[in-house]
Amino acid sequence: MSTMNFADRPRVDARDKVLGTNMYGADFALPGMLHAMTVPAGINKGKLVAVDVSAARKVAGVVRIFTSEDFAPSNSADHMPPSTITDFVMSRGQMVAFVVAETLEAAIEAVETVEVSYEPIPFVALMNGKDAKREAAEGVRYGDAANAMAGAAVVHEAEYVSPPQHHNPIELLSTTANYVAGELTIWEGSQNTGGLRAFLAASLGLPLDKVIVKSPSIGGGFGQKGDTGRHSAMTARAAIALGRPVKFVMPRPQIFDTASFRPKSVHRIKLGADRNGRMVAMQYGVDQQQSQYGWFPPKDYHDVPVQMYDFGSYEGMSANLRIDTQAPGYMRAPHAQGPSFAFESAIDELAEKLQLDPVALRLQHDLARDPVTGKPLSSRHLNECLSEGARRFGWERRSARPGSMRLPDGTLVGMGVGCGAYPGLAAPSVVTLRIGADGTTRYSASGHEMGQGIRTTIAATLIGKLAIDPAKIEIVIGDTSAAPQHMTAGSWGTASAVSAAAVAADRLNVQMNELLAGREIPGNLHEKLRKIRRPFLSVDATQFAPGQDAKVLDQLRGAGWISAGPAYPDFTTFSYVAHFVEVHVEPTTRRIRVPRVVSIADCGRVISPRTSASQLKGGIIWGISAALREETHVDPKYGGWLNNDLADYVVAVNADIGDIEVGFIDKPDPVFNAMGAKGLGEVVMVGVSAAVANAVYHATGTRIRKLPLLVEDLL
Ligand code: MOS
Q: How far is the CA of 173 from the centre of ligand 1 (A)?
A: 16
Q: What is the pLDDT of residues 502-532, one digit of tens each?
A: 999 999 999 999 999 999 999 999 999 999 9
Residue 308 burial (CB < 10 Å; 0-12/13-18/19+)? buried
Asked if residue 708 has a cis previous peptide bond (ω within 30° of 0), the answer is yes
Check residue 1 and give its pLDDT.
Answer: 40
In Å, how far are 74, 161, 163, 290, 450 from 287, measured between CA atoms? Answer: 31, 10, 12, 9, 30
The verdict on the CB of residue 683 being under 6 Å from ligand 1 is no
Q: How remote is the CA of residue 87 from the centroid of ligand 1, in Å?
A: 31
pLDDT score at 2: 42
226 CA → ligand 1 middle, Å:
7
Q: Does the C-beta of 285 come closer than 6 Å to ligand 1?
A: no
What residues in the chain have per-residue pLDDT under 70?
Answer: 1-4, 74-81, 558-560
Task: Give the pLDDT score at 75.
Answer: 58
CB atoms within 10 A of CB 518: 6
In terms of DSSP H, where are the helices of 176-258?
193-204, 230-242, 252-258
- Ligand 1 test: best mutation among 193, 215, 218, 682, most atoms within 8 Å of CB? 682
Compute the distance from residue 223 Cα to the ligand 1 centre, in Å: 4
Instruction: Supply the pLDDT for residue 183.
Output: 98
CB of 331 closer than 6 angstroms to any ligand 1 atom:
yes
**Distance (Å) from CA 490 to ligand 1 centroid:** 5
Atom of ligand 1 nearest to the CA of 491: 3
Q: Within its chain, how far is the Cα of 317 from the centroid?
A: 24
CB of residue 334 inside a 6 A radius of ligand 1:
yes
Ligand 1 atom closest to 226 (CA): 4
Q: Is 679 in the pocket of ligand 1 (CB under 6 A)?
A: no
Q: How far is CA 23 from CA 16, 33, 446, in A?
A: 9, 17, 18
Q: Phi, psi (5° rounding) for residue 109? A: -60, -40
Helix (H) or strand (E) holding 321: strand 314-322
Q: Which atom of ligand 1 is nearest to the CA of 221?
A: 4
Ligand 1 probe mutation, 301, 332, 487, 488, most atoms within 8 A of CB: 332
The three-point CA angle 100-105-107 to 5° equals: 20
Q: Which three-class secondary structure state does DSSP give residue 543? A: strand
Where are any strands of DSSP class E within 239-313?
246-249, 265-273, 279-290
**Residues whose CB is less than 8 angstroms from the CB of residue 42 and which lie 6 or more positions away in sequence, other chains included:** 92, 116, 118
**655-667, pLDDT tens digit by residue?**
999 999 999 999 9
What's the pTM value of the predicted model, to 2 decimals?
A: 0.97
Quote the pLDDT of residue 78. 53
Q: Is 332 in the pocket of ligand 1 (CB under 6 A)?
A: yes
Q: How many angstroms is it from 262 CA to the middle of ligand 1?
A: 11
Q: Report which protein residue has its CA nearest ligand 1's atom 4.
A: 223
d(CA 623, CA 161): 15
Q: How far apart are CA 524 and CA 467, in angstroms?
A: 5
Ligand 1 mean position, distance from CA 228 (Å):
14
pLDDT number for residue 238: 98
Give CA separation, 603 vs 552, 616, 621, in Å. Answer: 26, 11, 18
| Cα–Cα distance, 235 to 26 (Å, whole number) | 12
Q: Which atom of ligand 1 is nearest to the CA of 332?
A: 2
328 lines ligand 1 (CB under 6 A): no
Q: Report which ligand 1 atom has the smallest distance to the Cα of 488.
A: 4
